[in-house]
Structure 1
């Protein structure tokens, strides 16, 4: 893969002329990623379970990533109407919490359907096309919970860990085709998903300072990430400045896992 493959020829981190497909683009990290890539010149198509009729800087098409046929249809439409997908960013995800022994079947299954199978669907559909062209970059937003156990988050952590290994295997298989596959794994980030966990006034401070009762250390940098912090890491791995990086998992968590 050359420095300007599929892009604007700058060899930098600009995305002029490239087509980027971003899942989970209606809010939070997905919206931040889509906006950042669009601001750097990409032709962004967002998709989300909740589509939007208002395009703004980029359209957000309705898509359920758990539906493989729907994913294939949307990717085919994007390639036909916008252009070949150069960058795929998987951000769509769900968080179902609860003690492992009390999880309902649907909570476990839904976690894997979105967080793991959804990534498989998009990567399969886009990856096949990228392989035929001999270029492309896939970045999946995972979680630092994939590498460090969390109480009450067994379904989420297990589904993200499975996805992390899938991305490494995919990266190994697609490397010969010049396609890079990487992960960005955030810690606590200021999103609606994060705030849904803050059920009392002291919850945010416990995230920052740590909570021995849940065997969780704090955040050494002393701040909750902003979605744009994660988006910047995604853009780096998606762009040409990371042209020799694949199968990498970049933690963006302020040191919260002590990189265990």
Structure 2
């Protein structure tokens, strides 16, 4: 586990932990929270990309930034990162859990090991982080948690059995944690993005570098029983980050155990 920090922690700034912070939605969440004066602790298993993301945050804000190279499936590493963040900043006010992986394949024909890999990260990795940070927040009787799930948790998609079911499990895990932590004043919510212009989304296209790959996603696919996107565009990572920030903030002070779909209407909120 590695750590890098800049400047001295400001005691008045809210402190946020962001997992999966090296790229895509996680990096966008880091930039958004930093732009709203959060001190941020960025966690990811990709150290090189994590430092690049941290450099972007430092370039556009004067907030305190630390990085920890952590695989969320490693509970000891997660606990060590949580302890290090608390030691530096004194507390954790917000958690944005974005870490997750995607694999596709038929339910009937796919390799069970692929399912185990997805569940290890998307469910048990989430559990590790929720328990580690949640126990700290419970001891303070304060905090807000947002987990980035997926609209695939709420509607079946061809080839998405492992991913969608892992996100459905994650969503129920989060809502139950919210119920259990409500008496301690801790809010726990889900943001469920649809197709978002990230490297994960582009990995599903025949050519990740060809922007026209978005056209098929927006149009939908009748043969695959996939509705298009009524708003006629992909989400940006910043769109999702803004939703995460809202649910973490005091503007959402009476919202907990909710799943906010941010998908341009793609699931018709099924």
Instruction: Structure 2: give runs of 5+ residues left out of the alignment.
Output: 1-11, 59-64
The whole-number CA distance in structure 2 between the counterparts of 1:129 and 1:196 is: 36
82-91 or 159-168: which moved more?
82-91
Residue in 1 aligned with 2:29? Answer: 33
Residue in 2 aligned with 1:114? Answer: 121
**SS of match in other structure, 1:73:** helix
TM-score using structure 1 length: 0.91
Residue in 2 aligned with 1:46? Answer: 42
Corresponding position: 1:184 with 2:194: no
The whole-number CA distance in structure 2 between the counterparts of 1:19 and 1:168 is: 23
194-203 or 22-31: which moved more?
194-203
Corresponding position: 1:255 with 2:262: no
**SS of match in other structure, 2:251:** helix
Residue in 1 aligned with 2:138? Answer: 131
**SS of match in other structure, 1:99:** coil
Residue in 2 aligned with 1:157? Answer: 164
The whole-number CA distance in structure 2 between the counterparts of 1:174 and 1:197 is: 37
Contact 1:171 1:179 in 2 (8 A): yes
Corresponding position: 1:211 with 2:221: yes
- Residue 115 of structure 1 deviates from its aligned partner by 0.7
Change over 3 Å in CA distance of 1:210–1:124 after alignment to 2: same
Q: Which of 14, 23, 40 is the aligned partner of 1:18?
A: 14
- Residue 255 of structure 1 deviates from its aligned partner by 0.2
Residue in 2 aligned with 1:145? Answer: 152
**SS of match in other structure, 1:168:** helix
Report matched runs for 1:90-109 at 5 Å.
Answer: 90-109=97-116
TM-score using structure 2 length: 0.88
The whole-number CA distance in structure 2 between the counterparts of 1:42 and 1:129 is: 18
Residue in 2 aligned with 1:85? Answer: 92
The whole-number CA distance in structure 1 between the counterparts of 2:32 and 2:66 is: 14
- Residue 211 of structure 1 deviates from its aligned partner by 0.4
Q: CA RMSD in A?
A: 1.3
Residue in 2 aligned with 1:231? Answer: 241
**SS of match in other structure, 2:233:** coil
Residue in 1 aligned with 2:4? Answer: none
**SS of match in other structure, 2:30:** helix
Per-residue Cα deviation, 1:40-92 (whole angstroms, up to 9, x for no partner)? 10000111011244642233321000111111111011101223110001000
Provide the aligned length of Structure 1 versus Structure 2. 245
- Residue 104 of structure 1 deviates from its aligned partner by 1.2
175-184 or 208-217: which moved more?
208-217
